[in-house]
Amino acid sequence: MTRIERNICRRDLTTFAIEVSAAALAGWETAGDLAALIADPSLPRPLKLIGGGSNLLFTRRFEGTLLMRCGEPAVERSGLLWTVDANMVLDDLCALVAASGLRGMENLSGIPGTLGGALVQNAGAYGAETGSLLVEAELVDLQSGRMFTVDREWMNYSYRRSRLKDEDGHYAIVRATLGLLPASAPANLDYGNLRAMLDGREPVPAAVREAVIAVRDSKLPDPRRVGSAGSFFRNPEVSADTIAGVEPDMPRYDLGDGRVKLSAAWLIDHAGMKGARVGGAMTWPSQPLVIVNAEGNATAADILGLEHEIISAVSRRFNIILTPEVEHL
């Protein structure tokens, strides 16, 4: 079953909760529905699958068709292999996996959006990345309608990137098979203050999930009340030589190849942009890596303006260029 709306203008299509205007919005449930939409010559092009809209910033009217999957996502379990529809809310899947006693997703708890979007973005947190769990994914070519299956190697994952992200929306994930870890696998507690949050409890998956959510809630806005896209900028990876002798207190993680990963949040804070504001857009006071729609009336221009001010301030202060993690359309 498909449903098509023309000339839409809505605020509920992205987690930023800003107005999105598009030539058309098409809902679909099955792979056959999606194939029919792709073959429909009346739909404005290009086609864009938006998932949960958690990593998107629409900067202008979209003159194509937004595709949104409807219906209840299916989950098929076979031991450590779980095959899941791409429209499954990522945090719901994290909760399900943790409750089953399996490891691999508990550190990803609380990340907004769907599984499909997380796999495209290689979303991650607290030492875990979604792409590391992928065994295979069923894709659709949004131009031809062709369905095919790829493995993790094909996805060419790197930090917050994948081949799908680099292909700029040419393909979309329909469902994915994840390889989870047994309960006996060691817990990943080396990031943030997860050990302290556990407060002596045994680090079973459900307890680690609770600790991750507690850490996130202490620093990040509640997505049900404040619009945002989560982390707005990537943590920059730079040559160690470029920051030698500069700001000895600057947090850095050695990547082992002559480069280091820096904390974008620390750079933004020390460039004087913590709590900075442009119109209705603001950096979150306890985590300046997050740009929020502060009172619900921010525009895309406000968010872009604050983005540019942050990039300029960090560049002036540290000679480092921040790159947005959020996709701009």
The string of pLDDT tens digits covering residues 44-55 is: 999 999 988 888
- Domains in the chain (CATH in brackets) are 3-69 (3.30.43.10), 75-179 (3.30.465.10), 227-328 (3.90.78.10)
Residue 232 is predicted with a pLDDT of: 95
Max distance between CA atoms of the chain, in angstroms, equals: 61
The torsion region of residue 224 among left (phi > 0), alpha (psi -120 to 50) and beta comes to alpha
309 is annotated as an active-site residue: no
Read off the pLDDT of residues 279-300 as tens digits, 9 standing for 90 and up: 999 999 999 999 999 999 999 9
Cis geometry, peptide bond prior to residue 236 (ω within 30 degrees of 0): no
State pTM to two decimals.
Answer: 0.88
- Beta-bridge mates of residue 12: none
Sign of CA dihedral 148, 174, 209, 97: negative
224 is catalytic: no
Q: Is 195 a catalytic residue?
A: no
What are the helix (H) ranges across 86-204? 90-99, 115-121, 152-155, 163-166, 194-198
Catalytic residue among 129, 138, 307, 325: 325
The single residue of 69, 103, 160, 216 carrying the catalytic annotation is 160
DSSP reduced 3-state for 120: helix
Q: Tokens 């896209």 sit at which residue?
A: 229
Amino acid, single-letter form, for residue 107: N
Pure H helices in the chain:
31-39, 90-99, 115-121, 152-155, 163-166, 194-198, 205-219, 264-270, 300-318
Share of the chain above pLDDT 90, in %: 70
Walk along the chain (329 residues) and give the pLDDT tens digit of each residue: 688 999 999 999 999 999 999 999 999 998 888 989 999 999 999 999 998 888 899 999 999 999 999 989 999 999 999 999 999 999 999 999 999 999 999 999 999 889 999 999 999 988 899 999 999 999 999 989 899 999 999 999 988 889 998 776 689 899 999 999 999 999 988 876 888 888 778 899 999 999 999 988 888 888 778 999 989 999 999 888 878 767 778 888 888 888 989 999 999 999 999 999 999 999 999 999 999 999 999 999 999 999 999 999 999 999 999 999 999 99
To the nearest 5 percent, what fractions of the chain are helix, strand and coil? 30, 30, 40
Which candidate in 54, 162, 228, 231 is catalytic? Answer: 231
Residues 63 and 83: their CA atoms lie apart, in Å, by: 34
Could you give the C-alpha distances from 255 to 122, 152, 236, 261, 309, in angstroms and in order?
Answer: 18, 21, 12, 7, 28
* Alpha carbons 283 and 287: distance in angstroms, whole number: 7
